[in-house]
Structure 1
């Protein structure tokens, strides 16, 4: 198992990336081979400091350029072929690694994914999900959360299949229930998109459709996978992040439920619907977040998630 790791992506890289790598290696007896992509001049001293130099599971790949957060993605990818993101996708597209993870420029990651990694046959549009912590302690999934702000009914229908596959193979939820985010529970409610999506989900034999889900039920246990357009999903995601910030500002610390909202618990979000595993991390990723990004990529490889998605769409 080979994973390409962008060591330069993130506000606190490469230090936190190196520390996350150390945590990962110390916590597993059978680590994957990690292709560490970045500026050797910055990485080698850190590898020495954290006693990673000489580790047989690490391959240092020199990439002297970095795509900044405010650079236009498409232009940056063309003008910086030796950036850590460009090099990482090059390794993935050539089959030298099985997955690629980065907390770098999100736009560049998404553009590079679309241009270098093929969309799985039958998938109308790839999507990005987010984890939903439920009040009963369970975990759910919400998608799309920003990649597709304008959607058609068939897109949401495909998101339901993609989310179900991820929930089943990565979150270990057997026969996950799918809900359509709407303004009411009754069939026929909502805007035109929801009205036209409902019958598609109802007739989709590849999912376990549970009907409409209202906003007040997002954190309840009425569905395991909630589908919506990326505009709505992103608003919910940012609102949830703000609620977590409010909790901290109100001195609500060490709360078992609110702590589950912290990005570091999940590391990153996968791009679902493409042929190979790509995981995008938060720009402020710390060592624990980077460690969890590696673990997510590892699990996607181990469970053959992309192959299972492909089989689901070809059946």
Structure 2
């Protein structure tokens, strides 16, 4: 199992990436090969300082870095020696099995869709986020920003992708699917919601339970919550703010509210592409990097991308 890590991505790179690898190695005994992709002149001194040592640690020199404000497509084309470009080259050529980065989100999405490409039958890949439930379980919300404008067919595909992710990564048996809407009754909502409902209702690959409302995000009504990326991103950013508010009010250690901290989940998977790609938060900490590696490992072990490809063979 070979996992590539963009060491130069993130506000605190490469320091937090190095510390994240140390944390991962200290907590895991599995023989995962970690390929550290980045500027070795910056990485190696930190590796020595923090005494990170493992026979499974490999280094791939990447002298260039794609900044946050660079145009994704242009930067990937012009900076072939950047950590993100090299990472996708290694993934596309089969030298690594998964790639993670907390760098330029646009460049990661462009790389995922054009270097790795979508699974045959998937019209548009999607990005998902984990939502902590009050009962201690977790749900998945998608799309959360990749597809701001959607057609009903896209939401129908997101439901399949989200269900497979919930089952094989979150460990939820026969996950229930809810359509995010402004009311529970069939026929409610805008044009997109009204047109999507019958598609989900007829989809034999999912366990569709109908519409869900905003108040249902954190209860156990639906394990998979489907919406367009515009709506999903607003919900995601609001949910992320819960932990900051809890921290300000001295509730950061609350058993439930603490689960809203982004670092607990590491990163956001791109679902619907042929190989595991995980995008981290720009402010990713060591714990977030460690959890991103763990998520990549779980995605590889579960063959989730192969299972997704199989589910679209007859759609």
Please report the TM-score for the alignment, with normalisation by the length of structure 1.
Answer: 0.98
Structure 2 equivalent of residue 149 of structure 1 = 148
Equivalent-residue separation in structure 2 for 1:30 and 1:182 (angstroms): 43
The alignment partner of 1:140 has SS state of strand
Partner in structure 2 of residue 106 of structure 1 = 105
The CA distance in 1 between the partners of 2:80 and 2:123, in whole Å, is 29
CA contact (8 A) 1:37 1:61 kept: yes
Q: How does 1:201-240 map to 2 (within 5 A)?
A: 201-240=200-239
Deviation, structure 1 residue 243: 2.8
Q: Distance in 1 between matches of 2:89 and 2:120?
A: 21
1:6 aligns with 2:6: yes
Measured against aligned partners, the alpha-carbon deviations of 1:128-183 in whole angstroms (never above 9, x if no partner) come to 00110111111000000000000000000000000000000000000000000000
Distance, in Å, in 1 between the alignment partners of 2:117 and 2:109 is 12
1:115 matched to 2:84? The reply is: no
Q: How far apart are 1:284 and its partner, in Å?
A: 0.3
Cα deviation, residue 310, structure 1: 0.6
Confirm or deny: 8 A CA contact 2:10 2:282 kept in the other structure.
Answer: yes
Alignment deviations for residues 240-273 of structure 1 (CA, whole Å, 9 cap, x no partner): 1223222222222310111100010000011000
- Name the residue aligned to 2:175: 176
1:272 — aligned with what? 271
Structure 2 CA distance for aligned equivalents of residues 109 and 155 of structure 1 = 21
Q: How does 1:36-185 map to 2 (within 5 A)?
A: 36-53=36-53, 55-185=54-184
CA displacement 1:16-74 (0-9 Å, x = unmatched): 10111011111111231011001110111111122224x21011000011111111111
Structure 1 counterpart of 2:31: 31
Residues 25, 31 of structure 1: 8 Å contact kept: no
Q: Distance in 1 between matches of 2:79 and 2:117?
A: 22
Give 3-state SS (helix, strand or coil) of 1:223's partner: coil
The match for 2:288 is 289
* 3-state secondary structure, aligned to 1:210: strand
C-alpha separation between the residues in 2 aligned to 1:108 and 1:167?
Answer: 26
TM-score normalized by the length of structure 2:
0.98
State the 4+ residue runs in structure 1 displaced beyond 3 angstroms: none
**Alpha-carbon distance in structure 1 between the residues aligned to 2:240 and 2:308:** 29
Q: More deviation in 176-185 or 26-35?
A: 26-35
Q: Aligned partners of 2:90, 2:243: CA distance in 1, in Å?
A: 37
Q: Distance in 2 between matches of 1:152 and 1:263?
A: 29
Post-superposition Cα deviations, 1:206-248, rounded to whole Å, max 9, x if no partner, equal 0000100001111111000000000000011111122322222
Distance in 2 between residues matched to 1:222 and 1:271, nearest whole Å: 25
Number of aligned residue pairs? 314
CA distance in 1, matches of 2:251, 2:52: 37
Which residue of structure 1 aligns with residue 21 of structure 2?
21
Instruction: Quote the Cα distance in structure 2 between the aligned partners of 1:265 and 1:60.
Output: 26
> What is the distance in 2 between the residues matched to 1:16 and 1:119?
31
Give the unaligned 5+ runs of structure 1. none
